[in-house]
Amino acid sequence: MVDQEQKLSETKIEQLKSVRTETEDVILKRRSVRVFQKKQVPEFLIKRMLEAGRFAPSAGNSMPWKFVVLRDQEIIDGITQTIIETCKIYKGLIDYRYNGSILRRIIANIIIKSKPNDLHPVPFGAISLIADEKLGLFHNAPTVILIFADERGIGFPTLDCGIAGQNMVLAAHSMGLGTCWIGFPKVAFENTSIWRNRLGIDYPYKFVSSLAVGFPMGKPDGMVARPTHAVDWYEDGMKKTLY
């Protein structure tokens, strides 16, 4: 029996040298979707996504997350409008490209340095586009899932929430759905209490990110070129670098 199991294991290993698993294909071919069909996602599929998120690993199995599903267009539009208005304020403070004032540039640089992640060049550029309503926030997705982290969680609760979110994203892809990570709702939940109160989000929960979910328009999935990062590999007293 042991020999038979060993042979099966060795056969599987040989197969893996040339064939990817279904799980690997889901990971490698999933792409962010920004154009959705208008039809709503069946409720049972969203529940299956949430279940995949619930089964994500977390430090001490603390499950430090709270998911809020939005399928009410009035609420989605309301949050969107709050974000647009907030981005207009940010644009006035930090977007010095259209104003030659040295003082304005100095103030903007101080603000940008105080929030290096939030005001990285990518979100920096998006702020102006959102403020001018040239960039759709949730891309007209019929369902939005908000992810909040319990700040009391063990270790890195936001990381655990990210793992749960990735579980949901991959589950969605495997079911033929499209998703896109959207971080900008952060400004609606951190800079004002309107939507926290409206949705009943109290301490200890803090906004982490959100997922736009829907049926993709067309067939956006497929592998794309990705940059390779060097990996240091230590084995048998030796170090080598993988690319």
- Full-model pTM: 0.88
Report whether 54 contacts 98 (CB < 8 A).
Answer: no
Report whether 150 contacts 205 (CB < 8 A).
Answer: yes
Q: CA-based Rg of the chain, rounded to a whole angstrom?
A: 22
Give yes or no for residue 2 having a pLDDT over 70.
Answer: no
Lowest mean pLDDT among 88-92, 169-173, 227-231: 88-92
pLDDT score of 96: 67
CATH number for region 22-243: 3.40.109.10
The answer to whether the Cα torsion of 182, 186, 192, 198 is positive or negative is positive
Give the start-to-end residue ranges of the domains of the chain: 22-243
User: What phi, psi does 116 have (nearest 5°)?
Assistant: -60, -30
pLDDT score of 63: 96
Q: How many residues does the chain have?
A: 243
Give yes or no for residue 126 having a pLDDT over 90.
Answer: no
The pLDDT-based confidence of 54 (bands split at 50, 70, 90) is very high
Question: 173-224 pLDDT, tens per residue?
Answer: 999 999 999 999 998 998 889 999 999 999 999 999 999 999 999 988 888 8
Lowest mean pLDDT among 44-53, 146-155, 167-176, 217-226: 217-226
**Residue 180 CB-density burial (10 A; 0-12 exposed, 13-18 middle, 19+ buried):** buried
